[in-house]
A and B are shown apart, each in its own frame.
Chain A
Amino acid sequence: MQALVILAHGSHLNPDSSTPTHRHADTIRETGAFDEVKTGFWKEEPSLREVLRTVESDEVYVVPLFISEGYFTEQVIPRELRLSGWDVSEWDSDGLSADTATLVAEDTGQTVHYCGPVGTHEAMTDVLVRRAETVTGDPDVGEGFGFAVVGHGTERNENSAKAIEYHADRVRGMDRFDEVQALYMDEEPEVDDVTDYFGSEDVVVVPLFVADGFHTQEDIPEDMGLTDDYRTGYDVPATVEGHRIWYAGAVGTEGLMADVVLERASDAGADIDAAIATVREATRETQAAGD
């Protein structure tokens, strides 16, 4: 028996924080690739501390629904799951390359294949692009369009910017959009000045965040000038200084994210090729933001 456990931050204040996590778990559950699919949270229940005991399988693939490597993936999760003898060097990562480490959970005795976060997986680039397709409603979007990946910034976690740069580079390498730019909330180049960085009239802006919340729903739309007050909403696209800004909201809410979770588990040895194909097919029909 093999189980998948998706871990995320969750929130004591905002129920929407865990919604994408549950949705991706549901999508994967429907493929039947795993005997069990469970979710665990830092701020919700079941807690990281207790999630493994809700799993009956001895073989567990644990995928963190986080954007970057760092405090949560390297310290909090291994500690709370009681992964015996965890040492971050097992990932031998440069901040982007954490893939998998196999450990034993001390309290349950389960074998845990602990995976790197979804945000740094190469398949995440496809999700960013898919987000552009869903927000514009155009499966071929690219020509005549600029593309911005937005991250929080390097203030507290340098790996967070690495993930943004990495995916911006990969989108650029596709030669699909006229221009590609990494932007940040807390440092240069800033998302506030989004229009300064693009010649294209149309710009798709995709925040590399797991869930929609304070930053993606309030800060970023206001900072970009889509609206003066997030409570009054904004159009997609909204016109700002002669550019049409197609603001996509958090990439983590994109249905195809379930695919990245599966890719992580597959890289860690889970036998789920068929499920990956099913998820890619099933999540193709994702509705555009605002629909």
Chain B
Amino acid sequence: MTDVRDEQVDALLDRVAERPVELDGLRVTDDDDGYALETPDESHDGLSEPELREAVRSDHVVPYITNWYFWEEAIGRRGRHRRAFLRHAEAADEHPVPERYDALRSGLETEWGEVVVTATLGADGHRRYEIRHVDDAGVDHDELDAYHDPLSARELSTYDERGRYRPLRTAPSLVSGWVFPDLDGRDAVETLDTIYPASIANWNLEREGDLDVTHWRETAERQTGIYDVVEELPPDAVDWLAEACCVDSQCLKRREWQYDADHDLEADGGTGAFPCREPCSLVVAAARKWTKLEEEETRTYEFELTPSEKEQIEAIVDAVADDRIDEIREADVYEGANRYRTRFLRAKRFDEAGNLAGVATEPEEGHHDDHGDDGDRDDHGDDGDHDDHSDRDD
């Protein structure tokens, strides 16, 4: 049973001396007739201080007092996004205190991207939070690596299962196998914000009707240096870009930005818990490449392929685009993107210069340019390996 500590009651008395206390069904006031105490189920007035101190210790009132103390004194109102998220994690605005306390005793879960946050009731009405990967729901603590410092989440979210760098924190490739078993509210939010930076602030701004969405046009027009060119990406290509990068299979954020305020993109924005308010740096960097590629005119090439070979090429594109390469079994030559089958296609249809069906990319030169356009080096060069002035390249 949750109890109420003297310092919690003292704090309540201090607060009520300043102004009426009002939270989640609890109301305490101090006027000429003495103290008044009100909950949805009972009310007292004309109480002396000792009588108030007695009244707040009744089994029915205690949860209201510890609940008040947790939200107003322990959490406070300073970090408004943090407070909003933690209240969301126990649906505080929807359920009365006694009901919530019952639910918190067995744990209340909130999914946030690929993680799940479980809020439970700690000592004296304090809440404790556990964070783990959704794939690890129901797994014993002992089987997971336990962490206690929110900043440990930085390392956990930097690499995927195969040890590859995750430049996009909201890519659905967060590794599992870890748990933050016992965090306070501040550290819980810090942990989530390390895994999904700025997600809580943007979610709450949206909730408050105050999310500042910057659409594609505006973002593109703002760019300078080597990204200046993205403004020229044709509208159709912006749609393809959104389809390529900003759907649930690639990013857990829900895309709220459109082509501009008057023109929605056709691509589905996704169903993520937290909003994407502006094209991210990955999208802008990719757009730069596509802007350059989209400047090329199409040409007519003539290839001799069997129907199965054409379908195989389509299967290869699909497998790469959907990141299914690892799922295709080594000996499964029924899959178009199977490695042996792809090697057979290459052996049969590529010439020594790597040209499909012996058709040169540049017919007049008769050879294939292995290195692509010069932009490739710039793309790599501007990406941090170079120092701070590198974005002026080009």
Where the two chains meet, the residues of A that have a C-beta atom closer than 8 Å to any C-beta of B are 1, 9-15, 17, 22, 26, 42-47, 49-51, 53-54, 56, 66-68, 70-72, 75-76, 79, 107, 117, 152, 156-157, 160, 209-211, 213-215
- Do B79 and A56 have beta carbons less than 8 Å apart? yes
Which of B158, B165, B193, B386 is within 8 Å of A54, CB to CB? B193
State the Cβ distance, B281 to closest chain A Cβ, in Å.
5
The answer to the question of B21 belonging to the interface, with a C-beta cut-off of 8 Å to chain A, is: no
A45-B169, A56-B78 known; A210-B383 Cβ under 8 A: no
Tell me the complex Cα distance, A67–B386, Å: 12
Mostly helix, strand, loop or mixed at chain B's interface? loop
State the Cβ distance, B382 to closest chain A Cβ, in Å.
9
Tell me the complex Cα distance, A107–B198, Å: 14
State the Cβ distance, A114 to closest chain B Cβ, in Å.
16
Which of B78, B202, B388 is within 8 Å of A72, CB to CB? B388
Which of A1, A14, A54, A56 is within 8 Å of B385, CB to CB? A14
A contact residues around B198 at 8 Å (CB): 45-47, 50-51, 53-54
B contact residues around A214 at 8 Å (CB): 381, 385-386
The answer to the question of B147 belonging to the interface, with a C-beta cut-off of 8 Å to chain A, is: no
12 pairs of residues in contact across A and B, judged by CB atoms under 8 Å = A11-B384, A13-B167, A15-B158, A47-B281, A50-B201, A50-B277, A53-B202, A66-B388, A70-B388, A71-B392, A79-B224, A157-B392
- Do A67 and B387 have beta carbons less than 8 Å apart? yes
Tell me the complex Cα distance, A22–B153, Å: 12
The answer to the question of B85 belonging to the interface, with a C-beta cut-off of 8 Å to chain A, is: no
Q: B159, B222, B383 — which one has the most chain A CB atoms within 10 A of its CB?
A: B383
A contact residues around B278 at 8 Å (CB): 49
The answer to the question of B345 belonging to the interface, with a C-beta cut-off of 8 Å to chain A, is: no
The answer to the question of B389 belonging to the interface, with a C-beta cut-off of 8 Å to chain A, is: yes
- Closest B residue, CB atoms, query A15: B165
The answer to the question of B145 belonging to the interface, with a C-beta cut-off of 8 Å to chain A, is: no
Where the two chains meet, the residues of B that have a C-beta atom closer than 8 Å to any C-beta of A are 78-79, 81-82, 151, 154, 158-159, 165, 167-170, 193, 197-198, 201-202, 205, 212, 222, 224-225, 277-278, 280-282, 285, 380-381, 383-393
State the Cβ distance, A213 to closest chain B Cβ, in Å.
4
Which of B169, B222, B384, B393 is within 8 Å of A13, CB to CB? B384
- Do B197 and A45 have beta carbons less than 8 Å apart? yes
- Do B392 and A13 have beta carbons less than 8 Å apart? no
- Do B201 and A14 have beta carbons less than 8 Å apart? no
Tell me the complex Cα distance, A68–B386, Å: 13
- Do A9 and B202 have beta carbons less than 8 Å apart? no
A54-B193, A54-B197 known; A12-B385 Cβ under 8 A: no
- Do B167 and A209 have beta carbons less than 8 Å apart? no
A12-B384, A22-B154, A211-B384 known; A71-B197 Cβ under 8 A: no
- Do B197 and A72 have beta carbons less than 8 Å apart? no
Tell me the complex Cα distance, A43–B390, Å: 12
Which of A11, A13, A68 is within 8 Å of B388, CB to CB? A68
- Closest A residue, CB atoms, query B393: A156
Q: B81, B193, B383, B388 — which one has the most chain A CB atoms within 10 A of its CB?
A: B388
- Closest A residue, CB atoms, query B201: A53
Given contacts A13-B384, A43-B281, A71-B392, 6 further A-B contacts (CB under 8 A): A13-B383, A14-B385, A45-B170, A47-B280, A68-B389, A76-B225
State the Cβ distance, B124 to closest chain A Cβ, in Å.
24
Tell me the complex Cα distance, A115–B285, Å: 27
B contact residues around A160 at 8 Å (CB): 387, 389
B contact residues around A68 at 8 Å (CB): 388-389
Tell me the complex Cα distance, A26–B150, Å: 12
Tell me the complex Cα distance, A45–B198, Å: 8
- Do B392 and A156 have beta carbons less than 8 Å apart? yes
Tell me the complex Cα distance, A159–B282, Å: 28
A45-B198, A53-B202 known; A17-B385 Cβ under 8 A: yes
- Closest B residue, CB atoms, query A10: B384
- Closest A residue, CB atoms, query B149: A26
- Do B385 and A215 have beta carbons less than 8 Å apart? yes
State the Cβ distance, A103 to closest chain B Cβ, in Å.
18
- Do B383 and A76 have beta carbons less than 8 Å apart? no
A54-B201, A79-B222 known; A215-B388 Cβ under 8 A: no
A contact residues around B280 at 8 Å (CB): 45, 47
A12-B282, A26-B151, A79-B222 known; A46-B388 Cβ under 8 A: no
Tell me the complex Cα distance, A72–B202, Å: 25
B contact residues around A44 at 8 Å (CB): 167, 169, 281
A contact residues around B285 at 8 Å (CB): 12, 43
- Do B380 and A13 have beta carbons less than 8 Å apart? yes
A contact residues around B151 at 8 Å (CB): 26
A contact residues around B158 at 8 Å (CB): 15
Tell me the complex Cα distance, A70–B197, Å: 27
A contact residues around B391 at 8 Å (CB): 42, 71-72, 76
7 tightest Cβ-Cβ pairs between the two chains A and B: A11-B384, A214-B385, A46-B197, A213-B385, A157-B389, A45-B197, A17-B384
- Closest A residue, CB atoms, query B212: A107
- Do A43 and B383 have beta carbons less than 8 Å apart? yes
B contact residues around A49 at 8 Å (CB): 278
Which of A14, A45, A67, A76 is within 8 Å of B384, CB to CB? A14
- Do A67 and B385 have beta carbons less than 8 Å apart? no
State the Cβ distance, A221 to closest chain B Cβ, in Å.
14
A43-B167, A49-B278, A53-B201 known; A12-B383 Cβ under 8 A: yes
A contact residues around B393 at 8 Å (CB): 156
Tell me the complex Cα distance, A43–B285, Å: 9
Tell me the complex Cα distance, A41–B79, Å: 22
- Do B388 and A156 have beta carbons less than 8 Å apart? no
A contact residues around B165 at 8 Å (CB): 13-15
- Closest A residue, CB atoms, query B210: A107
A contact residues around B170 at 8 Å (CB): 45
B contact residues around A46 at 8 Å (CB): 197-198
- Do B154 and A15 have beta carbons less than 8 Å apart? no
